[in-house]
Each structure stands twice: as structure tokens, then as C-alpha cells.
Amino acid sequence: MFVGGLLALLLQSLHPQAMIAVAQHSDYRNDPWGRLQRTSTFLAATTYGPAEDAQRAVDHVRSVHRHITGTDSAGQPYRADDPHLLRWVHVAETDSFLRCHQRYGARPLDAVSCDGYVADTARIALALGVPDPPRTQQELAAALADYRPELRATTDALEAARFLVWNPPLPLLARGPYTLLAATAIAELPPWARQELRLPRLHGAESVLVPPAGHAIVGAIRWAMGARR
């Protein structure tokens, strides 16, 4: 979830209208951990909570989205509850979490279970107002491909990437582990997305160094969170 969440944020930033809504209405620069906590709480409630808690979380998000509107740099209006933008955020998030679980999760899923995960996330997407969310891996891949012509790195996306990768508000001791998490997430980005966001590639060294480092840092987080229970 840590790696997948960072991957999802980087990928989602490449839709100009989704990113301008974040840039104009989010306080992620001043309160990144508060935003992360709110997102994590929503994911926990809709994934593991009883139906009433999940519905309450969905209703809150939809209420917030109704008030987020504006105009982008080209003069085009946008709104956070636009079904097309909601669908983009959903497919990028679902693909990112599934991709990272398959590579770094303790128990990767078989093909049937992967389709089951995509179908489960579709239930939340429908509740949030996403029209016809993908329900299989094949549909998920097709949905991502359909959005590709719309995606590019704006100034706001590049600023968000710099903040997430190079300038996170962390104490010095946390910078090393976070750098490993960021490198692990970046390695999962499609080559075109890395190029758009100007994130470097280490070529051969990356394929040798990043996977074991990713397994180590994810395993350490898994152990730490398990030890706290």
C-alpha cells in the first residue's frame, strides 16, 4: 500500500484536469501527512469496515467533491465529481495497488483473484460515481490505455513529483527508507510516464538494485506493523 499509493499519486498527476484540481484545492504541500491519513482512513473504511462505515466514508467524499470546481490554464472548467476524472483516479489507483502487491506483497494473487480484486474495487468506484468501472485485469488495462492520449506532465504535475520524490517533509533519519520507497514506486511507472515526470532511470543498475531494496523496505514495514498489533 505504501509503494502503491506513491505510484498512484505520480500516475494520477499526469491527467492535467485531475492535477489542477489538486493544485488549486488541496493542502498537500502544507499538510501532506494529514491528507495521507484521510486517504488511508477512506481506504481502510471502504476495504475493511462494515457497510455503514464504508457508505459514510463515500458520502463524505462525494460531499467534498461537489464543492471542488474551477477553471484550468486553458480556460476549461473542471469539477472534482466529473465522472471521467473520477474514473481516471480509480483506474490509476487500482492498477497501482494491484501491480505493487503482485511484485512486493507477501502472497501474490492468481489470475482469478486479481480479477476479483478489480471487481471488488469497482463496487467502491460505483458508489463514488464512477461510470462503468473495470471489473477484470483486462478491462483495467484497456481503461488505462484509453486515457493515455489525455495524459501529460503539467507544471503542477512536475512540482508534485518533485515534492513527493525529492522534497518530502521528513526528518533526516526517515529520508533513507523513504528514498527506497520512492525508488521502488518510480520503477513501476511506465517508461513514458517517467519521461513525462522527468524521473531518472538507472537502466541496468535499477533492475538489479531496486527489486531487492523494495522487498527489504516493504518487508521491514510489514514486520513493524505486525509487531505493533
Query: What is 23-42 written as a DSSP string?
Result: HHH--TTT-HHHHHHHHHHH
pLDDT tens profile 38-79: 888 999 999 999 999 999 999 999 999 999 999 987 888 999
Q: In the chain, what percentage of residues exceed pLDDT 70? A: 96
Alpha-carbon dihedral of residues 220, 93, 48, 222, nearest 10 degrees?
Answer: 0
Looking at the chain, how many residues does it have?
229
Please name every residue paired with 79 in a beta bridge, in sequence order, or none if there are none: 69
pLDDT of residue 205: 62
In terms of pTM, does the model score above 0.95?
A: no
- Rg (C-alpha) for the chain, rounded Å, is 17
Q: Which helix (H) or strand (E) holds 51?
A: helix 51-66
pLDDT higher than threshold 70 for residue 207:
no
Residue with cell 487500482: 94
Is the C-alpha dihedral spanning 173, 189, 217, 212 positive or negative?
negative
- Looking at residues 175-182, what average pLDDT do you find? 86
Q: How far apart are the C-alpha atoms of 105 and 186, rounded to whole Å?
A: 17
What's the mean pLDDT in 178-183? 87
> What's the angle, vertex CA 185, arms to CA 179 and CA 188, rounded to 5?
145
